[in-house]
Amino acid sequence: MNVSSRNSTQLFFKAFSNKKKMVVICDCGKQAIIKTSLTNKNPGRRFYYCPACGFIGWADPPMCCQAVDVIPGLLRARNDLEEDLEEQLMLMRKKDEQLKSSTNFLF
């Protein structure tokens, strides 16, 4: 890989791949973890975080402005749907319990 084309924060991390997954080692020698940004400016953009020294570097390239406009709305819509689904599941469980107790009464 051409090092000069990478952004400067990524230079502090070294990536190794073992049999199962990619391991990213911080410049301080500790293993960095990958996290996902939830900010409106970088929704869904992944970054490396070193729990030992607190260093942060982007794993994904910068977001295009269209993605920054669209992704927060999609995430909100998904969260709304998940809440609706949870509500429907609770109602179904409640009705299921009512049905079970009423059939117990019949037998």
Could you list the residues that contact Zn ion (CB under 5 A)?
Answer: 26, 28, 30, 50, 52-53, 55
> Toward Zn ion, which CB reaches closer, 30 or 95?
30
Tell me the C-alpha distance between 14 and 23, whole Å.
8
Q: Shortest CA distance to 50 belongs to which of 63, 34, 70?
A: 34
Alpha helices in 49-64 (DSSP H): none
Task: Give me the least distance between CB of 58 and Zn ion, in Å please.
Answer: 15
Q: Which is nearer to Zn ion, 53 or 71 (CB)?
A: 53
Longest dimension (CA), the chain: 77
Nearer to Zn ion, 12 or 71 (CB): 12
State the nearest-atom distance from the C-beta of 28 to Zn ion, in Å.
3
The three-state secondary structure class of 16 is strand
